[in-house]
Chains A and B, each alone.
Chain A
Amino acid sequence: GAGVSQSPRYKVAKRGQDVALRCDPISGHVSLFWYQQALGQGPEFLTYFQNEAQLDKSGLPSDRFFAERPEGSVSTLKIQRTQQEDSAVYLCASSIENTEAFFGQGTRLTVV
């Protein structure tokens, strides 16, 4: 596609529910990143993939967060047993290696 596509755009989850957020990167982009943006804050790095390999997951806040990119294209960020503090906008970005990243519009997750 022309840009990074994320779905859903909005998600409301009850506390304790599992959620899955999808990212479809720009075709041909090797690197894929997930960021978390809390209200009033800048985005914070969660994890990154080069093709299907997850090379860094140092930003994942807990073991409830899991990301995958099995075929080196679409990626899914899964959050298990959601908590209120997980409420944020989750941004996906992709890039050709060693260049700046292009961001999707994000998924706004609200945990109630």
Chain B
Amino acid sequence: AQSVTQPDIHITVSEGASLELRCNYSYGATPYLFWYVQSPGQGLQLLLKYFSGDTLVQGIKGFEAEFKRSQSSFNLRKPSVHWSDAAEYFCAVAHLFTSGTYKYIFGTGTRLKVLA
């Protein structure tokens, strides 16, 4: 069965510092991978996704992620964090239905705190 592990429950960084959020997945085939962000009281917003091709994926708000098959990882990075990036971040892998659409298997999330 598919699963996603986000080993860091909380991360604190200073504004302007670089950021890396870890994500490991378990999936038999080539996975569809996603990073979502959730601000307090808000729904989930898609940051980026990986389906195939270039293993370095660019997303919105200056985020990027790298798919490493050998490590079963899809870590999220940002070179310089802004105070507005404080939120909860979820990594997800897709479970494909026979219809072609898919549901998400989410990790437990990483809460990011940004210090001024």
Within 8 A of A (CB), among B23-80: 34, 36, 41-46, 49
How many A-B residue pairs have C-beta atoms within 8 angstroms? Tell me: 57
Known contacts A41-B109, A42-B108; is-contact A91 B103 (Cβ 8 Å) = no
B-chain residues with CB within 8 Å of residue A102 when the two chains form the complex: 46
Using CB atoms and an 8 Å cutoff, list the residues of chain A in contact with chain B: 4, 31, 33, 35, 40-45, 48, 50, 55-56, 91, 93, 95, 97-98, 100-106
Chain B residues in the interface with A (C-beta under 8 A): 4, 34, 36, 41-46, 49, 90, 92, 95, 97, 99-109
In the complex, chain B residues whose CB is within 8 Å of the CB of A33 = 103
Establish whether residues A43 and B103, one from each chain, have CB atoms under 8 Å apart when the complex forms: no
Known A-B contacts: A42-B90, A93-B44, A95-B101. Give 6 more (CB < 8 A). Answer: A43-B44, A45-B103, A56-B103, A98-B102, A103-B44, A105-B41
Contact across chains for B43 and A103 when beta carbons are under 8 A apart = yes
- Measured between beta carbons, the chain A residues less than 8 angstroms from B109 are 40-42
Query: Shortest beta-carbon distance, A89 to chain B, in Å?
Result: 9
> Complex Cα distance A41/B42, Å?
15
Residue in B41, B99, B103, B106 whose CB lies within 8 Å of A42: B106
B34 touches A43 (CB 8 A): no
Q: Which of B4, B49, B101 has the most CB of A within 10 A?
A: B101
Residue of A50, A56, A105 touching B43 (CB-CB under 8 A) = A105
A residues within 8 A CB of B107?
42
